[in-house]
């Protein structure tokens, strides 16, 4: 009498061919999509002239005000007076009411110096000036 042993399949068989097909199709799609986008930018088009230039929807850059240990205000790498900061902040808030301003005060400066910058920002129309800090011990 011949007894057959019970065959057991211990693993699950996953067919990778459809997955590779889908992956290949995605790669081809993205290669074609980026090539077409680049080709649109490189077309030889004679664009019309405008009297006022600039992008239509330009996000304004965040203004960073540093207050050094001596209480001097620094914007864009140069020291400025309080009135100059007030002008910068007021003009930026007039163009974009949601303008962001970050105040970075030196840890050894007097608190009054940082409050003066915050007061200028609030007076210039900035809704929520941010105070920069670092995490530490």
**18 within a domain of the structure (yes/no):** no
**78 within a domain of the structure (yes/no):** yes
**75 within a domain of the structure (yes/no):** yes
Number of H helices, E strands in the chain: 3, 5
pLDDT band at residue 13 under the 50/70/90 scheme: confident
**97 within a domain of the structure (yes/no):** yes
pLDDT tops 70 at residue 57: no
Of the candidates 109, 112, 88, which has an alpha carbon nearest to the alpha carbon of residue 99?
88
SS3 state of residue 15:
coil
- Residue 4 and residue 120: Cα distance in Å, rounded? 91
Q: Which two tokens stand for residue 104?
A: 């970075």
DSSP class of residue 12?
A: -
Full-prediction pTM beyond 0.75?
no
- The answer to whether residues 62 and 102 touch, using CB atoms and an 8 Å cutoff, is yes
Q: What is the domain extent for residue 115? A: 63-131
Query: Strands of 73-75's sheet, edge to edge?
Result: 78-80, 73-75, 63-67, 101-105, 130-131
**108 within a domain of the structure (yes/no):** yes
**28 within a domain of the structure (yes/no):** no
**86 within a domain of the structure (yes/no):** yes
**2 within a domain of the structure (yes/no):** no
pLDDT tops 80 at residue 137: no
Residue-averaged pLDDT of the chain? 82
CATH number at residue 98: 3.30.420.270
Number of structural domains (the chain) is: 1
Averaged pLDDT for residues 125-133: 87
The count of residues in the chain is 137
């Amino acid at each position: 009498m011949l007894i057959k042993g019970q065959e057991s399949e211990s693993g699950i068989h996953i067919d990778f061919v459809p997955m590779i097909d889908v992956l290949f199709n995605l790669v081809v799609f993205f290669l074609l999509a980026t090539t077409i986008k680049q080709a649109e930018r490189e077309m030889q088009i004679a664009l019309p002239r405008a009297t006022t230039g600039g992008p239509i929807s330009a996000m304004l850059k965040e203004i960073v005000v540093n207050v050094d240990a001596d209480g001097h205000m620094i914007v864009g790498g140069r020291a400025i007076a309080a009135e100059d900061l007030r002008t910068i902040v007021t003009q930026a808030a007039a163009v974009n009411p949601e303008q962001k301003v970050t105040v970075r005060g030196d840890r050894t400066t007097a608190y009054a110096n940082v409050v003066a910058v915050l007061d200028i920002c609030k007076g210039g129309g900035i809704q929520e000036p941010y105070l920069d800090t670092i995490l530490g011990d």
